[in-house]
Amino acid sequence: MAVDTLVFAAITIVYLVVTMALGYLGYRHTRETEDYLVAGRRIHPAILALSYGATFISTSAIVGFGGVAGQLGMGLIWLTVFNIGVGIFIAFVVFGTKTRELGQRMKALTFPDLMGKVYRSSFMQYATAAIIVIGMPLYTAAILIGGARFIEETLRIDYNLALLGFALIVAIYVVLGGLIAVMYTDALQGSVMLVGMTLLIFLTYITLGGVVEAHSALNAMSNLVPAALKAAGHTGWTSMPALGSPIWFTLVTTMVLGVGIGVLAQPQLIVRFMTVKDRRSLNRAVFVGGPFILMMTGVAFTVGALTNVYFYTNRNMTALEVAGGNVDKIIPAYINSVMPDIFIVIFMLALLAAAMSTLSSLFHTMGTALGYDIWVYTSEGRPSLGASQRGIVLMILVSVLLAYVMPGGIIARATAMFMGLCASAFLPAFAYGLYAKNPSTLPARVSLITGSLVWFLYTVLVHKAESEILGISKALFGTVSILPMPWPVVDPLIVALPASILALLIGIQVGKEGRSGRIPQ
């Protein structure tokens, strides 16, 4: 890193002190289980919007997906379209209002609790909690590793110390202060991210001579696309990949649709809708949330693509060549090459904030799924703050251990995998439970099981990006993917979500004798 490590360390310490102070504020405001699990249902709309956005956008969304834009170009802007249109507007207006209303009426305290109460089914609560407890540590470990690697490089400290220190600092305020602490600190972290990304887009266009000049220069670089990428469908950094090519399928099905739709069924985001007291708060949060996401992913993807102009003008190389073929290094290489020292510090802090905000929410969600939904209800104990805290501590330990043993290849895939699993397993049943007048349990059960199973089988046996690393398909059938092209590059969500919807519809038709769902109004 170009900037003085001591300067960054000093600013980081100030930031951490403020973070811990907000965590302490959360601790002081937490008196009962409802405070700990849904922030007492009295969170300010601006805090909700920033917290939702900061949780939604992890470091990998900025550095990882920004780097992918450096490799594949501006087509990723369609993910921003989905991030705002689906991830904010539909999420808040269609799903959020009903989630808040039912959550408040049924006194639901977690996402699995809501599913259990909507369907009056302990199976739905346990199954939802079990998928979170099994699937979420993979995603959490990926965020932990990303954060620790970043701290190791910027502060030049030992990786193991960075990993444990990072987990411990976040753990302290999550365990003690619950969701109030998580959301207060998220709001701070979201604000830091907003400052960092705003500076990034302005400085980029200034450096490249203006908006039209920068885009035109990138437009003129289409003849520089490497042969291998060209053969896979890359047509240039300001155009979409060739329709139906492997890159097109990856961009459209995994990134745009997979991540864009997957966000609707993320338990750590859904629980936030239950933290506000009325619909008005959700409307106001939309006001902040839409522009916030535009400034996060919209900026990351645009700057990611434009790094090619900077590197070609100054070094006669594409961004991917400068990064040695590693897309994750494109954004850091660009920041370090072009930005003034003070900006590097702000941007690094924004990345640390992005990792912390996502990590804290994941710790809280999976810990409460274990400590509240599974532990308390299976042992018939009384819901208590202590049980949730023990659940969180246990899940943090599992995630840290996983961070040490997980294979590198799977870590890179963990975000898309978790989003795909959540959408396939939960989305149809969640939507049906929210909007059906009298939802029955059978269709929801069938949908949840079908979605999870199809997603799992497709991931293990067909989708090359995962099946190659897992090696199960190779061991069983002697091939990485059991289906021909284009299926190995089509995201599991594209198959598993329709299967889950179909199972729900069939379940509704054949399961009219299923138990009546919602509590009478």
Partner 1 sequence: MLGIDDPQIWLGYLLAIGFALWCLLYGLLNWNRGEGGDGS
List of residues 6+ apart from 318 with CB closer than 8 A? 221, 224, 226, 308, 311, 312
User: In the structure encoding, which two tokens stand for residue 157, read together?
Assistant: 């400290």
Least distance (Å) between residue 456 CB and partner 1 = 32
Per-residue x/- track, 249-288, partner 1 (CB under 8 A): ----------------------------xxxx-xxxxxxx
Least distance (Å) between residue 476 CB and partner 1 = 40
Backbone Cα Rg of the chain: 22
Q: If binding is defined by CB under 8 A, does position 226 make contact with partner 1? A: no
Do 82 and 260 form a contact (C-beta atoms < 8 A)?
yes
Least distance (Å) between residue 102 CB and partner 1 = 9
Cβ proximity to partner 1: between 117 and 364 the closer is 117
Q: Give me the phi and psi of 30, to 5 degrees please.
A: -100, 115
Among 24, 44, 85, 149, binds partner 1 (CB under 8 A): 85
User: In the structure encoding, which two tokens stand for residue 230, read together?
Assistant: 């060209």
Least distance (Å) between residue 316 CB and partner 1 = 21
Question: Strand, helix or coil at 211?
Answer: helix
C-beta neighbour count of 33 within 10 angstroms: 20
Among 37, 48, 68, 84, binds partner 1 (CB under 8 A): 84
Least distance (Å) between residue 52 CB and partner 1 = 12
Among 105, 156, 315, 512, binds partner 1 (CB under 8 A): 105
Among 74, 138, 148, 348, binds partner 1 (CB under 8 A): 74
* Neighbouring C-alpha atoms within 13 Å toward the C-beta of 403: 25
Q: Which residues in 194-223 contact partner 1 (CB under 8 A)?
A: 211-219
CA angle 478, 479, 482 (to 5 degrees): 120
Q: If binding is defined by CB under 8 A, does position 298 make contact with partner 1? A: yes
Q: If binding is defined by CB under 8 A, does position 75 make contact with partner 1? A: yes
Cα 262 to Cα 269: distance, rounded to the nearest angstrom: 11
Pick from 257, 268, 266: which is nearest to 493 by CA?
257
Least distance (Å) between residue 196 CB and partner 1 = 18
Cβ proximity to partner 1: between 29 and 284 the closer is 284
| 198, burial (CB in 10 Å: exposed 0-12, middle 13-18, buried 19+) | middle
Least distance (Å) between residue 20 CB and partner 1 = 32
Residues contributing to the site for partner 1 (CB under 8 A): 74-75, 77-78, 80-81, 84-85, 88-89, 93, 97, 101, 104-105, 211-219, 236, 238-240, 277-280, 282-291, 293-294, 298
